[in-house]
Amino acid sequence: MADMTDPMAKNGVGDHLPSRNNVVGEGPMTMANGSPVVDNQDTATAGVRGPVVLQDAWNIEKQAHFNREVIPERRMHAKGWGAFGDFTVTQDITDVSHAKIFSEVGKKCEIFMRFSTVAGERGAADAERDIRGFAARFYTEDGNWDVVGNNTPVFFFRDPKKFIDLNHAVKRDPRTNLRSPNTNFDFWTSLPESLLQTTIIMSDRGIPSSFRFMHGFSSHAYSMVNAAGVRTWVKFHFRSQQGIQNLTDQEAATVVGQDRESNGRDLYEAIEKGQFPQWKLYIQTMTVEQADAMETNPFDLTKMWPKKDFPLREVGILELNRNAENYFADVEQAAFTPQNIVPGIGYSPDRMLQTRLFAYGDAARYRTGINHHQIPVNQPKGVGCPHSFHRDGQMRVDGNRGSELHYEPNSYGNWADSPQLAEPTQAGGDIAMYDYRADDHDYYTQPGMLWRAMTPEQQLVTCENTARAMGDATLQVKHRYIYNCFHADPAYGEGVAKALGIDISTVDLTGTPANSRAEWLARNAVGKELDQPTKPTEPATAADLPPAGRDTNAADPKSLSIWEDDPYLL
Say how far residue 283 (Cα) sits from the centre of its chain: 18
Give dist(CA 115, CA 314) in Å, integer.
22
Give dist(CA 524, CA 324) in Å, integer.
47
Task: Dump pLDDT digits (tens) for 38-61.
Answer: 888 888 899 999 989 887 878 887
504-532 CB burial, b ≥16 within 10 A, e <16: beebeeeeebbeeeebbeebbeebeebee
Give dist(CA 306, CA 312) in Å, integer.
10
Give dist(CA 175, CA 321) in Å, integer.
45
Q: In 3-state terms, what secondary structure has residue 319? A: strand
Report whether 568 contacts 200 (CB < 8 A): yes
Report whether 66 contacts 164 (CB < 8 A): yes
Query: The domain 80-378 is classified under which CATH number: 2.40.180.10, 1.10.1740.10, 3.40.50.300, 3.40.190.10?
Result: 2.40.180.10
Residue 2 in this model has a pLDDT that exceeds 70: no
Neighbouring C-alpha atoms within 13 Å toward the C-beta of 417: 8
Percentage helix, strand, coil for the chain under 3-state DSSP, each rounded to 5: 35, 15, 50
Between 195-202 and 445-453, two packed helices, what is the crossing angle to 10 degrees?
20
Residue positions forming the annotated binding site for heme? 360
Listing DSSP states for 340-385 in one string gives ---TTEE----HHHHHHHHHHHHHHHHHH-TTGGGSGGGS-TT-SS
Task: Dump pLDDT digits (tens) for 487-524.
Answer: 999 999 999 999 999 999 999 999 877 899 999 999 99
* DSSP class of 17: P
Report whether 522 contacts 445 (CB < 8 A): no
User: Residue 423's pLDDT is what?
Assistant: 87
Based on its alpha-carbon atoms, the radius of gyration of the chain, rounded to whole angstroms, reads 24
Give dist(CA 547, CA 34) in Å, integer.
55
Report whether 246 contacts 208 (CB < 8 A): yes
CB atoms inside a 10 Å sphere around CB 40:
16
- From the candidates 77, 215, 373, 441, give the one annotated as an active-site residue: 77
Q: Give the pLDDT band of residue 7 (cuts 50, 70, 90).
A: low
Which of 62-71, 105-114, 447-456 shows the lowest mean pLDDT across its residues?
62-71
Q: In 3-state terms, what secondary structure has residue 109? A: strand
Task: Dump pLDDT digits (tens) for 9-37.
Answer: 766 768 877 878 887 777 777 766 766 78
User: Residue 401's pLDDT is what?
Assistant: 84
The pTM assigned to this predicted structure is 0.89
Q: Give the pLDDT band of residue 5 (cuts 50, 70, 90).
A: low
User: Residue 322's pLDDT is what?
Assistant: 96
- From the candidates 59, 150, 340, 378, give the one annotated as an active-site residue: 150
Q: In 3-state terms, what secondary structure has residue 188? A: helix
Residue 472 in this model has a pLDDT that exceeds 60: yes
44: amino acid identity, one letter: A
Least Cα distance to 188 among 178, 179, 180, 198 occurs for 198
**33 catalytically annotated:** no
User: Residue 1's pLDDT is what?
Assistant: 44
Listing DSSP states for 216-281 in one string gives EE--S-EEEE-TT--EEEEEEEEEESS---B--HHHHHHHHHH-TTHHHHHHHHHHHTT---EEEE
User: Residue 4's pLDDT is what?
Assistant: 57
**150 catalytically annotated:** yes
Least Cα distance to 302 among 233, 203, 219 occurs for 219
377: amino acid identity, one letter: V
Residue 410 in this model has a pLDDT that exceeds 90: no
Which of 159-163, 403-407, 459-463, 536-540 shows the lowest mean pLDDT across its residues?
403-407
Residue positions forming the annotated binding site? 360
User: Residue 426's pLDDT is what?
Assistant: 85
Q: Name the segment(s) of the chain with CATH classification 2.40.180.10.
A: 80-378
* Residue partners of 95: CB distance under 8 A and separation at least 6: 226
Of residues 28 and 103, the one with the higher pLDDT is 103
Which of 25-34, 75-84, 263-272, 282-291 shows the lowest mean pLDDT across its residues?
25-34
Report whether 250 contacts 293 (CB < 8 A): no
